Structure 1
Amino acid sequence: MTTLRLRPEDPADTGAIRRVLAAAFARPDVATPPEVRLVDELRGSDAWLPELAMVAEYGGEIVGYALLTRVQVRSDGSSRPALALGPVAVAPHRQRIGLGGAVVQAALEAATELGERLVVVLGDPAYYRRFGFDRADRLGLTSPWSGLGEPWQALVLPPSVSGEPAPPQGEVIFPPPWSKV
């Protein structure tokens, strides 16, 4: 029986993660997909949260990846922290067996355990709805991708303690590596 292991990435996983991202986002017109470069650049930034970079290891092989990194939500001259989900990738030979959903769920659970309150994503609404994501504009969130409508989504994570303030509303500011995607 092949076992699935979900865990934060280890520095030794970098090459395997790059291969998964390159295969999952491969395009004939691009040697290195922008998602590979995005992860490489985020690793060297203040947005990087190593405990929220999750891998799916299936049969001892890294075949899935979900990354949560720090973003800021600005409103009324102040900023509050939130997270951005992406990229999410599964090696083509292991797609359609639930590994993507498993690694995303593991990342969201880890964020909840750390007391995070808000996650944003740009992606397929039909896919991300299963995790509880909804249109970000309904939560008072804007970004450079707001004009895309339904693909600009957000998820409010459960509070770690009762009485915790509501999740932030305002403009979501992504770290500089995101501007290249």
Structure 2
Amino acid sequence: MEIKQESPQDFDQVFHLIKDAFEKEVYTDHQEQFLVERLRKSKAFVPELSLVAEQNGKIVGYILLTKIKLVPKDGAVIIPENVDQFLALAPVAVHPEYQNQGIGAALIGEVHRKAKSLNFKAVILLGHADYYPRFGYQLCKNFGIELPFDVPEENCMALELFPGALAAFSRTVVQYPAEFFD
């Protein structure tokens, strides 16, 4: 398996991969493939953090991190130069025929490594409570961070790419790009 940066030639395969990967998921609107299309055109898009996993010339996995902001809540003070150093993980997708083979884990590990090399400080996600903690994710509430919608707190998680990166961001709310809500 090879993990590489997604190219425009991959877009059609990635669209269908994401659609297939989320087809039987219960807690989704089944629109993730359209979200990815919108995010690629946004200012939040970081091409180096849009990765595919290929096996025998076929794209079998995909992951995307996009820029988000953490904005003050209840009078919290934030250092302005730090506000653009955070990412959202959405989505990670593995074709159903290739799931449970470590592809998702490999994509997550590689995208974390790349994000850290680009000096991003942390990753926030909304996902399966029993899957992401194995990669070091902790509940957002442990950092004093909230998501802007009503979801179970056990599904809202954050990972510091650098120890202490979220220490100054207690009492904040994640501000997603508008493309997340279109």
Does the TM-score normalized on the shorter chain lie above 0.5?
yes
**Which runs of no fewer than 5 residues in structure 1 stay unpaired?**
none
What is the CA RMSD across the aligned residues, in angstroms? 2.3
Distance 1:73 1:164, change over 3 A: closer
Paired letter, 1:6: I
Is the contact made by 2:143 and 2:166 (CA closer than 8 Å) also made in structure 1? no
Answer yes or no: is the 8 Å Cα contact 1:156–1:167 preserved in 2.
no
- SS of structure 1 residue aligned to 2:132: helix
Q: Shift of residue 147 of structure 1?
A: 4.4
The gaps in structure 2 that reach 5 residues or longer are none
Q: Given the superposition, is the C-alpha separation of residues 66 and 117 from structure 1 closer, same or farther in structure 2, using an over 3 Å criterion?
A: same
- Aligned counterpart in structure 1 of residue 96 of structure 2, from 92, 106, 121: 92
Structure 1 range deviating more: 141-150 or 11-20: 141-150
Tell me the residue number matched to 2:3. Answer: 6
Corresponding residue of 2:105? 101
Q: Which amino acid aligns with 2:66?
A: T
Task: Give the distance between the partners of 2:151 and 2:38, measured in 1 at CA.
Answer: 26
Cα separation, 2, equivalents of 1:41 and 1:6: 23
Aligned ranges 1:32-181 → 2 under 5 Å: 33-75=30-72, 76=76, 80-81=83-84, 82-145=86-149, 147-158=151-162, 166=167, 168-169=169-170, 170-180=172-182
Identity among equivalent pairs (%): 35
**Match for 2:109: what amino acid?**
Q
Residue-pair matches, total: 171
Kept in 2: contact 1:55–1:63 (CA 8 A): yes
